[in-house]
Structure 1
Amino acid sequence: MKTIKITMLVCVLCLVANFSFSQKMYQVHQDNVNPSMLMEYEKTAKKFNDACVEHNLQSQWLTVMMDDFTFLYVTPIENFSELDKRPMADMAEAMGDDFGKMFEDFDKCYDSHGSYTIMLDESLTYMPDGVDQSTEGQDYRDFYYIYFTPQNEKSLRSAMKEVKEMFAAKGSKNYYRIYRTGFGVMDNYYMVAMSSKDEVDSAQKSKANEELLGPERYETFNKVLSAASAMEEVTGQIRRDLSYSAKKE
């Protein structure tokens, strides 16, 4: 099974020279679920989701389950001031002891969890028909993590732009989104996210894309590899049953 330390997802935004506040930003809550507790975790997660619906919690998130049993809850945010909000305060008051008990049940299922931010880099993203992060029927995900050192980021960005230009010139249908590390821990990387129907569809798209790009793709991809300090791959699945969006008040 492929594994990845997704906790090493973000760096301090204020120190990122290429950061633009026009980029879309997301808060991510991550639960590193113990495999033996998966069923218990999902039971509690569904109970939590039902409670959010019942109390019309004014928030939203898209839930992703990785193949290493990591669960990510991704919420769009406008700015850092939103991190100070307490959207669950009214819900906690209404539920009383049941609210605390629910999170005690969560805590039994993992040894670590936490929150951080990431941002969508549209300048490197390749989706010529418009950026869409949650296309219906395309819930399977391939994630590629490209780590870099501060001194190599410029070279890496240049190489990734060449990849995008190559895909565009060839008319590739293998679309992808690029996210950059945000506010959290220290390691820097770009994450490439590709959407497919399932594992078979993903493999078919990859094979067709290789044939379309041809052997010259190696030279372009090698520039990315040369600028990266490490690369990792992980797959995942959107869990719409655990995702949430509040009804408008």
Structure 2
Amino acid sequence: MKTRKLTFLSTFIFVLFMGGLNAQNGSSQAYWVHEDVVKPSMIGQYESICKELTDNMKKYNIQEFNVIVSNTADNRYLWVSPISGMADIEKPLFKTLSEKMGAEKMDDLFNRMDKCYDIEHNYIIHLDKELSYMPSGITQTPEGQDYRKFHYYHYTPSNRAEVKKKVEAIKTLFENKGSKLEYRVYRSGFGTRGAFYMVAIAAKDAADYSGKISANNESMGEEWQKTYTDFFSSLKKYEAFEGGMRPDMGYAPK
């Protein structure tokens, strides 16, 4: 997580100004994602170091940092932090932690962490509340449902408007049918690899997820199959990843 050190801020300030990022409004919330692609042989060590970092932030009640963490079956760890405005971006994330635990100790922690991966990514995604379907209330962390299935629907810039209309049609159908399957929709932003919608579905575990999908397909009937097939035919590429939330690695200040 080298880019989460004190120097990450200058990297993004200019880009966000130039991109005209509207970090948060009534229908959208922006998140900065730091993704570590961890070496399989280093997973245990990586998680241990990350928990050491979390423990230190809890110990000193660091106020500048707020993050949820998930990891996928292909060994990617995603650190997701909300951006509420430019004032948040200007805050040095680990300045206080460095002062509290000592710069030398903190640098040693991050240096050990950096050895656990060769690839890291940084990008922005936007939670689209208008396209998401969560009648019980939008939350990234439904209680008791740490399992995740991440669906990536890639499209080309030329058919952006068409794909959006079909995503809207899916939500309308879910509302009309009173579906019990809830999902959140994220839009790709600055730094992502191509344009996509990412749909995140929460469940207790893989079996619970499978049961939810089966029940939804049955209750929604042929109209759902037709609507989804029409949407799918407009895509450039589709990917799906299993994963889970890691509350033991995330952090929120008291």
TM-score in same-fold range (> 0.5): yes
Matched position secondary structure for 1:214: helix
Q: Pick from 135, 140, 147: which aligns with 1:140?
A: 147
Q: Which runs of 4+ in 1 moved over 3 A?
A: 12-17
Q: Pick from 45, 69, 90: which aligns with 1:84?
A: 90
Q: Would the alpha carbon gap of residues 20 and 103 (structure 1) be closer, same or farther in structure 2, given more than 3 Å must change?
A: closer
C-alpha offsets along residues 179-202 of structure 1, whole Å, 9 cap, x if unaligned?
A: 001222451111000010111100
C-alpha offsets along residues 18-37 of structure 1, whole Å, 9 cap, x if unaligned?
A: x8852111111111101110
- The alignment's TM-score, normalised by the length of structure 1, stands at 0.89
Deviation at 1:73, TM superposition (A): 1.1
Equivalence map 1:91-102=2 (5 Å): 91-94=97-100, 95-102=102-109
Task: State the partner residue of 1:208.
Answer: 215
Structure number with the higher helix fraction is 2
Task: State the partner residue of 1:156.
Answer: 163
The reply on whether 1:67 has 2:82 as its aligned counterpart is no
What's the % identity of the aligned pairs? Answer: 36
C-alpha offsets along residues 25-61 of structure 1, whole Å, 9 cap, x if unaligned?
A: 1111111101110011011111111111112111211
Q: 2 CA distance for matches of 1:20 and 1:103? A: 28
Equivalence map 1:119-130=2 (5 Å): 119-130=126-137
**Amino acid across the alignment from 2:45:** E
Matched position secondary structure for 2:36: strand
Task: State the partner residue of 2:190.
Answer: 183
Which structure exhibits the higher relative contact order, with contacts defined as CA atoms closer than 8 Å and separated by 6 or more residues? 1
Q: 2 CA distance for matches of 1:156 and 1:119? A: 16
Q: How many residues align?
A: 235
Q: 1 CA distance for matches of 2:18 and 2:194? A: 12
Q: Which runs of 5+ in 1 are unaligned?
A: 1-11
Q: 2 CA distance for matches of 1:133 and 1:35? A: 27
Q: What is the RMSD computed on CA atoms of the aligned residues?
A: 2.0
Question: Contact (CA 8 Å) 1:153, 1:227: kept in 2 or not?
Answer: no
Q: 2 CA distance for matches of 1:13 and 1:169? A: 38
The reply on whether 1:245 has 2:243 as its aligned counterpart is no
Task: State the partner residue of 1:46.
Answer: 51
Q: 2 CA distance for matches of 1:146 and 1:84? A: 32
Q: Would the alpha carbon gap of residues 27 and 20 (structure 1) be closer, same or farther in structure 2, given more than 3 Å must change?
A: closer
**Amino acid across the alignment from 1:113:** E
Q: Would the alpha carbon gap of residues 197 and 66 (structure 1) be closer, same or farther in structure 2, given more than 3 Å must change?
A: same
Q: Which runs of 5+ in 2 are unaligned?
A: 1-14
Task: State the partner residue of 2:32.
Answer: 27
